[in-house]
Amino acid sequence: MTTAMPRRVAVLGATGSIGGSTLDVIARHPERFRASVLVANRNVEALVAACVAHRPKLAIVADPAMEGALARQLANAGVRCEVASGDDAITAAAAGPLCDTVVAAIVGAAGLESTLAAARAGKRLLLANKESIVMAGPLLLAALREGGGELVPVDSEHNAIFQCLPGGRPDLDAHGVRRLILTASGGPFRGKGRAELASVTPDQACKHPNWVMGRKISVDSATLMNKGLEVIEAHHLFGAAPDRIEVVVHPQSMIHSMVEYADGSVLAQLGNPDMRTAIAHALAWPERIEAGVAPLDLAACAPLAFEKPDLETFRCLALAFAALREGGDAPAILNAANEVAVEAFLAGALPFLSIADLVEGVLAELPAQPVVDVQALRERDAQARSVARRKLRTAC
């Protein structure tokens, strides 16, 4: 069964890996979906190419300095659509009449305002920007209640949990849920000790064994901070206390996450490591559609293995659990410090193992405060980044 009218989808982060996978799924189902709003950061050429293929109503570039180039290149390509730029334009589009579905895939804290705006406006929110809910989980949940929309997680782990729970995001106690089990690939450095990681390069850290991702999230996967952020996200999405969330390393990335019930049953969602599965599920939910993903050949799979994460070598995961338990805006401080640290590592200004040290130092200097509103969070985010950069200068 299909809807009478195609869903109008705003893809925030259209030129990234999630955005590209989303547009691929949309192109396979033109009767169901239309990419009505496309947003990019600064990659005008890729945005124009996407606009040529999908003919949106509105194209937005985050950097206002690039708006003129976007308008010219779209005109030269024969694409007629509205053009805008800047954060305010992105936020307005997420809440505006040109879309009923928003794919929130802008990387980092920059995606917070547009994600909240989509939630308040009652959109179907496909959440791929984990930083938004890590920073402002209580505010995002309040915005969802206010707007009356739907949130379907796109992160493969949370989408897997969503699929393994009755009704997607139920009351865990009422449905006999004992714990949520997030799987982690272990990243490119699984099994290595601290001595082996002292001199790793950004290119090595970004060479994920299973997934194709952007450089920032690839580094987060290598440090296990990505899994730490996902623990915080799972807490907010599903109302699970920290001691009911477990992380297990699963190198094959075939089981994307699991839910354990009180009767001893464990439900798992399996599939090839391709984000189009989660995106197609979220776009069409509660229906199922073809995603362009190859069927999982269980007979050809390597044996499935599981192991505990090494929290002494990969300390970022332990820091994320600690921030979640501390509560308040500690997760926002964690996220901000990590973004600065990863940026410095990618620039060659910080050793890999020092990412966790920097994050820990910022958390120690800025004890948690209650989450009051977005403005207060923004101020604390800026303060955490300032502290992180000061510590970077001191270390250098």
Domain boundary among 153, 177, 192: 153
Q: What percentage of the chain has pLDDT greater than the value 70?
A: 98
Q: Is 211 a domain residue?
A: yes
Whether 216 has a binding-site annotation, put simply, is no
For the cut 70, the answer to whether the pLDDT of residue 50 exceeds it is: yes
pLDDT in tens, 177-213: 999 999 999 989 999 999 999 999 999 999 877 766 7
Q: Give the pLDDT confidence score for residue 347 in this predicted structure.
A: 96
Q: What is the CATH number of the domain that holds 48?
A: 3.40.50.720
Q: Give the pLDDT confidence score for residue 210 in this predicted structure.
A: 72
Q: What is the mean pLDDT of residues 95-116?
A: 92
Concatenated DSSP letters for 178-235? EEEEEEE---TTTT--HHHHTT--HHHHT--SS----HHHHHHHHHTHHHHHHHHHHH
Q: Give the pLDDT confidence score for residue 1 in this predicted structure.
A: 44
Whether 265 has a binding-site annotation, put simply, is no
Alpha-carbon torsion, ordered 331, 336, 339, 341, to 10 deg = -100
pLDDT in tens, 290-318: 999 999 999 998 899 999 999 999 999 99
Whether 132 has a binding-site annotation, put simply, is no
Whether 196 has a binding-site annotation, put simply, is no
Do 146 and 174 lie in one domain? The reply is no
Q: Give the pLDDT confidence score for residue 3 in this predicted structure.
A: 47
pLDDT in tens, 151-166: 999 999 999 999 999 9
Q: How many domains does the chain have?
A: 3
Domain boundary among 286, 317, 348: 317
CA–CA separation, 328 vs 325, rounded Å?
9
Whether 85 has a binding-site annotation, put simply, is no
Q: Model confidence at 132, in pLDDT bands (50, 70, 90)? A: confident
pLDDT in tens, 366-388: 999 999 999 999 999 999 999 99
Range of the domain at 304: 154-317
Do 31 and 51 lie in one domain? The reply is yes
Mean pLDDT (the chain, rounded)? 94
Whether 343 has a binding-site annotation, put simply, is no
Q: What is the CATH number of the domain that holds 360?
A: 1.10.1740.10
Do 165 and 221 lie in one domain? The reply is yes
Do 173 and 313 lie in one domain? The reply is yes
By residue count, the chain amounts to: 396
Whether 214 has a binding-site annotation, put simply, is yes
Q: Which residue has the tokens 């169901």?
A: 32
Concatenated DSSP letters for 28-90? H-TTTEEEEEEEESS-HHHHHHHHHHH--SEEEESSGGGHHHHHHHHHHTT---EEEESHHHH
Q: Give the pLDDT confidence score for residue 129 in this predicted structure.
A: 84
Whether 185 has a binding-site annotation, put simply, is yes
Domain boundary among 153, 178, 210: 153
Q: Is 2 a domain residue?
A: no
Whether 19 has a binding-site annotation, put simply, is no
Do 239 and 348 lie in one domain? The reply is no
Do 105 and 233 lie in one domain? The reply is no
Q: Is 182 a domain residue?
A: yes
